[in-house]
Chain A
Amino acid sequence: MNDRSGAKDMTLGAALRAQGVSRRGFLKFCAATASMMAMSPAMIPRVAQALEHARRPSVIWLSFQECTGCTESLTRSYAPTVESLIFDAISLDYHHTLQAASGHAAEAARKAAMEENQGKYLLIVDGSIPLDNPGYSTIAGISNLDMLQTTAAGAAAVIAIGTCASYGGIPHASPNPTGAVSVSDIITDKPIINVPGCPPIPVVITGVLTHFLTFGSIPELDDLGRPLAFFGQSIHDRCYRRPFYDKGLFAETFDDEGAKKGWCLYKLGCKGPTTYNACATTKWNNGTSFPIESGHPCLGCSEPDFWDGGGFYKSISMPTSDISTTVVYTAAAAAAVGAAAGAASRYKKKASKAAHSKVGVDDLEK
């Protein structure tokens, strides 16, 4: 998959041409990427020029406590796409699932890439890092924590792919038995781009890379470290079912009339309003569909702690604890307290009646 021999010094443009991508195809990709990044059409030549002459950057991809879903998302497509081509065009020097080497050879390759590209390579991480016991997740006997710290030291920037690397993800969910934390909990001295999602949308990843290659910098981020270009709007704000929400037309179950008519899934627990991602516009599988369009409420998977948000099928406006039971017990206790308070009041009144001194005509003045 990765032809590293002699290809290290090839520019990106040359590498793409070598793979049979026409100039037209290349420009189409630049235009698509530019528009995805909300850049003006005037920027397209700049993107093309930058990518044309970009040196293929060295990329080291570390996989920690993850399910490999992020890699699957990126590489799983039924037809080759330019996304996967650009991915081929970078020099992916270390990746468990995709690399040819294994064992000691793989670790040697990583160290070599780090030395040769000191300060210039991109570090991509997926999966969370366990802190409770380093033994929970190791690679070649090295704990995730150690590997991250040593590898990040020489990186130009870090991209945390997926919600696990960005915010802790599934392992971080209550009760967090491994003490899982995110990349930004450990690395504080390097620029970090969070690309959350469970998994993230493929073009979001390549869009971030393209930005980095074009401008040599990381894109504008929100306060959760996510590129605003892709995470600046909520699902709710871009959802095609929004008119139904506004009109108050909701599916009550997964197969009722409303569901069949494609009504809003708020009542089925959709977290669209509180979730920021590009799913509603960019969609998945080359723009085929996204969860809501398929009839399932948004899980909120690009937000921190979405696993602990009260349940996928509990709407945002529902309380997450069992209020009914609380109310019943409270009412019982309150009835007892109220009865006691009432009894005290009746007693006081009785006492005041007993203390009544009859008012006679001579008792009207002091």
Chain B
Amino acid sequence: MSASLEKGVNALREQVDSTVAAFFSSCVHCGMCAEACLFYTETGDAERTPINKTEPLRRIWKYEYTLFGRILKLLGLAKPVDEELLTEWETLVYDSCTMCGRCSMVCPVGIDITGVIRKTREGMAAAGHAPKGLIGATQRAITIGSPMGVKLPALQAQIRHVEEDLGLKVPVDVEGADYMLLLSSMEIMNFPEFIDALTRIFDKAGVSWTISSQAFEATNSGIQIGVSDLAAELVQRIVDAAEKLKVKTVISPECGHAYFAIRWDGPNLVGKPFGFKVRHILEVLDELRRDGRLKTSGFEEQKITYHDPCQITRRGGVVDEPRNLIGMIAKNFVEMPEHGKMNWCCGAGGGVSANERADEIRLQVFQRKKSQLDEIHAEAIVSACSNCRIYLEDGLEAHNMEIPVLSLTETLAEHLED
């Protein structure tokens, strides 16, 4: 119970670097970021303008890291970073932002607004201004090992089901395997068919893989709440397990923030490069496809579209792989208007789904995704993030839309050639 304003302000100070300084120096108040953010376009609340969400960090940069700003502060003309500001900004920095990254793509002067919002979260969280739901998820992730409270026995139970169903072994703690698979709690609890699918695909392709009983959780709540110390702790568990099992590559499953956390943030969090590679499951599957080790037959009849999970596509770099894979099993594929790296967020990432206070707004901004779908009249949506899947389903249900949301991996497995 020792969050404090002082810690929060210090955390913000630590976050200022040349990128932050260049970004804040360049903002011309054009307002284009608002038009790119679904939390503004679907609510009309101007305070949700992305660059506005960064105000606490901006004040620290201006009044402590610029000569002119320091002079203004000496003259008593500085705008403060106090409890009032942070309290007011809670719903802007957390409830109204999934860190989807669209604003960063659109800003004409090139500000990576999303990255700056992520940095702002460090200060908010250290000052005790993170949302309760997200704090709870993070605490569970650290103490139990999963934000949803999933423990090893639960996973083992699911694994037994899969082994019984398929008559195949799910390798656990196999030293020297090529790949170590991570799983998100969401998949373990809600979409265990994913484990099913992968087991079959890897078996057919002859992939050498394993799951670690020590570190199987992919989801990184530390990233979402914005506390690098905790995110690092979670990543370290995976690093320890990967090193112990001497694997070559760690696979991040169908979970958005998990991929970003382990692939792009990971080494920087723990302070040294990894001795192993990190790949998203789609990258692995695409490689199998290229090597001819993934063979499918038949095609989906329905009109399919692909929802690009923000953290995997725009923020993660896995843009072409899903399309290559869908091309294997879909004849009637249609892209959403504004797809790929310009796709619109499902509205549930970045910790929003763990935050009950944000339920209402999350459903409100789903309207953006609905407009996209309305334009193309898709009969099914394929995606590669279980969080997106669950909350797309949630939103569709709220609007009485009966469009199935499928996992790309599972759909591939269904078409696996016997």
Contact = CB atoms under 8 A, between A and B. Distances in A.
Note whether A and B contact each other (Cβ less than 8 A). Answer: yes
Interface of B: 1-4, 7, 10-11, 13-14, 16-17, 64-67, 125-126, 128, 130, 135, 138-139, 142-143, 225, 227, 229-230
A247 interface: no
A366 B229 contact: no
Contact of B4 (A345, A349, A366): A366
Contacts of A360: 229-230
Given A348-B65, A349-B14, A353-B14, A361 B143 contact: yes
Interface residues of A, number: 19
Given A355-B10, A361-B142, A363-B2, 17 more contacts: A341-B67, A349-B16, A349-B17, A352-B10, A353-B14, A356-B10, A359-B11, A359-B126, A359-B229, A359-B230, A360-B230, A361-B138, A363-B7, A364-B128, A364-B225, A364-B227, A366-B1
A358 interface: yes
B229 A365 contact: no
A316 to B, nearest CB: 33
B7 A364 contact: no
Contacts of B135: 364-365
A363 to B, nearest CB: 5
Given A348-B64, A348-B65, A357-B7, A362 B14 contact: no
A249 B3 CA distance: 71
Nearest to A340: B67
Given A348-B64, A359-B126, A364 B10 contact: no
Interface of A: 337, 341, 345, 348-349, 352-353, 355-366
Contacts of B126: 359, 363
A341 B66 CA distance: 8
Contacts of B64: 348
Contacts of B2: 362-363, 366
Contact of A366 (B3, B139, B227): B3
Residue picked from A341, A348, A361, most chain B C-beta under 10 Å: A361
B7 to A, nearest CB: 6
Contacts of A356: 10-11, 14
Contacts of B66: 341
B94 to A, nearest CB: 12
Contacts of A358: 229
A124 to B, nearest CB: 60
Nearest to B127: A366
B125 A364 contact: yes
A105 B238 CA distance: 118
Contacts of B67: 337, 341
B128 A359 contact: no
Given A348-B64, A366-B1, A366-B3, A361 B14 contact: no
